Amino acid sequence: MKVLVTGGTGYIGSHTVIELQQAGYEVIIIDNLSNSNIEVLDGIHKITGQYPIFEKFDICNSQDCNNFFSKYKGITAVIHFAAYKAVGESVEKPLMYYYNNLVSLLNLLDKILSHNINYLVYSSSCTVYGQPESLPVAENAPVQEAKSPYGNTKQISEEIIKDTIHANKKISCISLRYFNPIGAHPNGFIGELPIGEPNNLVPYITQTAYGIREYLRVFGNNYNTHDGTCIRDYIDVVDLSKAHIAALQRMLVHKNINNFEVFNLGAGKGYSVMEVVQCFEKVTGIRLKYKILNRRPGDIERVYADPQKANARLNWKATTSLDNSLLSAWNWEKYYRKKLNC
């Protein structure tokens, strides 16, 4: 069965391609490499023994999309990862984010309709919940006004997909709201490749440990939490990837018709920034340099998932410990840096 993975050379996409191949799916990737590297395909090949089909173009280009869908017939489902994802950059360059994340989706939905593809898995985010009133946050919690253009593109995208399904009775979509994805493949050949200075906590920690950053900036220790630092639900990227296969299978097995479903993908447990730092130090034996700085504007104090719906209906559960996720992230940092110096 052929599955199209947009953004398939990116961080979560590449891990999902591996799970798809290992589950026997034939994978076709579209990626314009705006935030990833072609060598990711070699990493995938090293792990699975197979190269996915790869087409490099921008999904915002409608003609390129037409050419693609004329070339590849018989695609059963699409997993749509391709998007820009840096929250801060989206505040600086809102139009770039609205254009890329929304035009790509509009194009893709148009082609999905005209080529009779019925199943879509969409990459959404816990950012749609903002600071939830009660925790853990379940799928029925209200979507709050977005704090950034990036977050808004996720909310608007879900609305666009819902309306499209409403008007086209054969299509179904599962929208997966990720909490904080971390870690790398345990085989060590693929992982996260942040360009420039990382925004996210774990790549900042591994780069600091490697000596690329002088120290970790801990953004605020005066929050109303047990140690004053913010709390997040860190979900291992391999666990997260497996949920995409579960979502696909749910739609295929149930012959899901005309359905829009949302699932939270988190471990269901919150860790503070300092707990992540301490855990990293414990599993690696490295003492991490850090400084407490002011709060980062826009940060939410605490958020973690109620993943029970995904546990029950997708038959999926996050199983990787924070220890093992941080270890795989660290192993990937070392592997990748050595490779760069070769």
Question: Of 68 and 129, which has the nearer Cβ to ligand WQD?
Answer: 129
Question: Of 115 and 217, which has the nearer Cβ to ligand WQD?
Answer: 217
Question: Of 197 and 226, which has the nearer Cβ to ligand NAD?
Answer: 197
Residue from 18, 21, 25, 35 touching ligand NAD (CB under 6 A): that is: 35
178 binds ligand NAD (CB under 6 A): yes
Query: What is residue 151's DSSP assignment?
Result: H
Residue from 52, 132, 136, 181 touching ligand NAD (CB under 6 A): that is: 181
For residue 123, the minimal CB distance to ligand WQD (Å) is: 8
Instruction: State how far the Cα of 49 lies from the Cα of 319, in Å rounded to an integer.
Output: 25
- Residue 201 touches which member of ligand WQD, ligand NAD, none, C-beta under 5-8 Å by kind: ligand WQD
Site for ligand NAD in 102-121 (CB under 6 A): 104
Contacts of 290 (CB under 8 A, 6+ apart): 208, 215, 216, 217, 218, 277
32 binds ligand NAD (CB under 6 A): yes
Catalytic residue among 122, 150, 204, 223: 150
The amino acid that residue 137 corresponds to is: V
Question: Of 160 and 252, which has the nearer Cβ to ligand WQD?
Answer: 160
Buried b or exposed e, range 21-48, using 16+ CB within 10 angstroms: beeebebbbbbbeebbeeebbebbeebb
Instruction: State how far the Cα of 185 lies from the Cα of 241, in Å rounded to an integer.
Output: 10
Residue from 27, 85, 148, 263 touching ligand NAD (CB under 6 A): that is: 85
Instruction: State how far the Cα of 206 lies from the Cα of 182, in Å rounded to an integer.
Output: 11
185 binds ligand NAD (CB under 6 A): no
For residue 263, the minimal CB distance to ligand NAD (Å) is: 13
* CB contact at 8 A, 258 and 174: no
Instruction: State how far the Cα of 156 lies from the Cα of 153, in Å rounded to an integer.
Output: 5
- Residue 184 touches which member of ligand NAD, ligand WQD, none, C-beta under 5-8 Å by kind: none
Residue bearing tokens 């990493």: 43
For residue 81, the minimal CB distance to ligand WQD (Å) is: 11
Tokens of residue 123, six digits: 């990459």
82 binds ligand NAD (CB under 6 A): yes
Tokens of residue 319, six digits: 């199983």
For residue 189, the minimal CB distance to ligand NAD (Å) is: 16
| Listed ranges 31-39, 217-225, 241-249, 296-304: which one lies at the site for ligand NAD (CB under 6 A) | 31-39
Tokens of residue 225, six digits: 């939490």
* CB contact at 8 A, 150 and 86: yes
| Residue closest to ligand NAD, measured at CB | 10
Contact positions toward ligand WQD, by CB under 6 A?
A: 85, 87, 125, 127, 180, 199-201, 204, 216-219, 230, 232, 273, 296, 299
Looking at the DSSP bridge assignments, the partners of residue 234 are 180
Q: Which helix (H) or strand (E) holds 299?
A: none
Instruction: Quickly list DSSP for 128-148.
Output: GG-S-SSSSBPTTSPPPPPSS
* CB contact at 8 A, 179 and 234: yes
100 binds ligand NAD (CB under 6 A): yes
- Other beta carbons within 10 Å of 133: 10
| Listed ranges 54-62, 71-79, 183-191, 312-320: which one lies at the site for ligand NAD (CB under 6 A) | 54-62
Query: What is residue 126's DSSP assignment?
Result: G
Residue from 3, 4, 5, 13 touching ligand NAD (CB under 6 A): that is: 13
9 binds ligand NAD (CB under 6 A): yes
Is residue 122 among the annotated active site residues?
Answer: no
Residues labelled as active-site residues: 150
Residues binding ligand NAD (CB under 6 A)? 7, 9-13, 30-36, 58-60, 81-85, 100, 104, 123, 125, 178, 181
